[in-house]
A = this chain, B = another copy of it.
Amino acid sequence: MEQQSELQEPTYAADISSIREAQIRIEPYIHKTPVLSSETLDVLSGKKLFFKAECFQKGGAFKFRGACNAIFSLDDVSVAKGVVTHSSGNHAAAVSLAAKLRGIPAYIVIPKNAPKCKVENVKRYGGQVFWSEPTVQSRELTASKVQEETGALLVHPYNHEHIISGQGTISLELLDQVPNIDTIIVPISGGGLISGVALAAKAINPAIRVLAAEPSGADDAHQSKLAGKVVVLSEINTIADGLRASLGSLTWPVVRDLVDDVITVDDWEIIEAMRMCYEILKVAVEPSGAIGLAAILSDKFRSNPAWKSSSNIGIVLSGGNVDLGILWDSLKK
């Protein structure tokens, strides 16, 4: 086991040092987001829940941490021609805002089915929009073309060491705000967020358990953990527009080794969790952001004896960019 651990560690794309460096680098730009709690939700879940409200982050999602770290890590010559990325919205807005702060152009490839409010965020922060089909292949191909034409650097939404380190700053803040957390539950998509969170949290306290929450209609992380290798789904079906990506080469090793389990939930559970966030916590949380609460309240979590000992649970409310109309249409169904 000792030997295995020594072999694995160097393969991770970030560690506690790079995450602490990221924290210092991005501190002048980001919001230190509040931790919310609710006695009503504590009673409902039977746990003490601590909600890390990244919906209040600049750009409305955690993505600004990673984008900021990536863009401010680069030297002036490297970024002179700007940056390019592909994203369903939150990473796109984050890159646009970080690029604006750095004073460089941002070229953003967005799939046609991205929520309107997320596209508006990109435009508000000065990002130049290029449309793609709503597939990973089309997104990457369009981004490559833009990269060739402009000479801009690609800032991948999750398979990128500085992105992972930036997202990991959430754990540093959360464990500073609530030191006795024993479990952290994190939405999983490409794995950048959960990789950073797990690497930082387990470095600070190896006893902390990290749980991924994933839509059952996009359960590639769940399947990958079962198979012991990255599984890419041929079909994806979920309301959580931020959780449709597949794991990357840099995030998979962390997910494989440090994520204790994956809980999958159905879209109706996500929507019900969004409603609770609104009516009880009083915060606007997008479907991808509410999935952690959905997982905690799910039968799968409650009935699993492995989680009985979790008492103080951190839940990352990853973002709050949601069109009110879409929320309401979902609630009515």
Measured between alpha carbons, how far is A312 from B325 in the docked complex, in Å?
33
Measured between alpha carbons, how far is A55 from B320 in the docked complex, in Å?
17
Measured between alpha carbons, how far is A249 from B53 in the docked complex, in Å?
42
Given contacts A36-B56, A40-B124, A56-B36, contact A324 B279 (CB under 8 A): yes
Measured between alpha carbons, how far is A328 from B285 in the docked complex, in Å?
16
Residues of chain B with a CB closer than 8 A to A204's CB: none
Q: Is A141 close to B, CB under 8 A? A: no
If over half of A's interface residues share one DSSP class (helix, strand or loop), that class is named, otherwise mixed; here it is helix
Closest residue on chain B to residue A43 by CB atoms = B124
CB under 8 Å from chain B, chain A span 302-332: 320, 322-325, 327-328, 331
The count of identical subunits is: 2
Closest residue on chain B to residue A328 by CB atoms = B328
Are A282 and B55 within 8 A (Cβ)? yes
Contact of A279 among B40, B117, B283 (CB under 8 A): B117
Q: Is A34 close to B, CB under 8 A? A: yes
| Least Cβ–Cβ distance between A325 and chain B, in angstroms | 8
Q: Is A275 close to B, CB under 8 A? A: yes
Given contacts A324-B328, A324-B331, contact A282 B279 (CB under 8 A): no
Residues of chain B with a CB closer than 8 A to A285's CB: 282
CB under 8 Å from chain B, chain A span 247-297: 275, 278-279, 282-285
Measured between alpha carbons, how far is A279 from B320 in the docked complex, in Å?
8
Closest residue on chain B to residue A117 by CB atoms = B279
CB under 8 Å from chain B, chain A span 94-117: 117
Closest residue on chain B to residue A277 by CB atoms = B284
Residues of chain B with a CB closer than 8 A to A56's CB: 36, 282
A51-65 near B? 1/0 per residue, CB < 8 Å = 001011000100000
Contact of A284 among B117, B283, B328 (CB under 8 A): B283
Measured between alpha carbons, how far is A328 from B279 in the docked complex, in Å?
13
Closest residue on chain B to residue A317 by CB atoms = B282
Measured between alpha carbons, how far is A65 from B117 in the docked complex, in Å?
36
Are B282 and A320 within 8 A (Cβ)? yes
Most buried by B among A40, A278, A322, A331: A278
Are A324 and B117 within 8 A (Cβ)? no
Residues of chain B with a CB closer than 8 A to A325's CB: 331
| Least Cβ–Cβ distance between A248 and chain B, in angstroms | 28
Residues of chain B with a CB closer than 8 A to A284's CB: 278-279, 282-284
| Least Cβ–Cβ distance between A126 and chain B, in angstroms | 13
- Given A279-B323, A324-B327, 7 other A-B contacts at CB below 8 A? A36-B56, A40-B124, A60-B282, A282-B283, A282-B285, A283-B283, A324-B331
Q: List 21 A-B contacts (CB under 8 A).
A: A34-B34, A36-B56, A40-B124, A56-B282, A60-B282, A117-B279, A275-B324, A278-B284, A279-B284, A279-B323, A279-B324, A282-B283, A282-B284, A282-B285, A282-B320, A283-B284, A284-B284, A324-B327, A324-B328, A325-B331, A328-B328
The 7 A-B pairs at the shortest CB distance, nearest first, are namely A282-B320, A328-B328, A282-B284, A55-B282, A278-B284, A34-B34, A282-B283
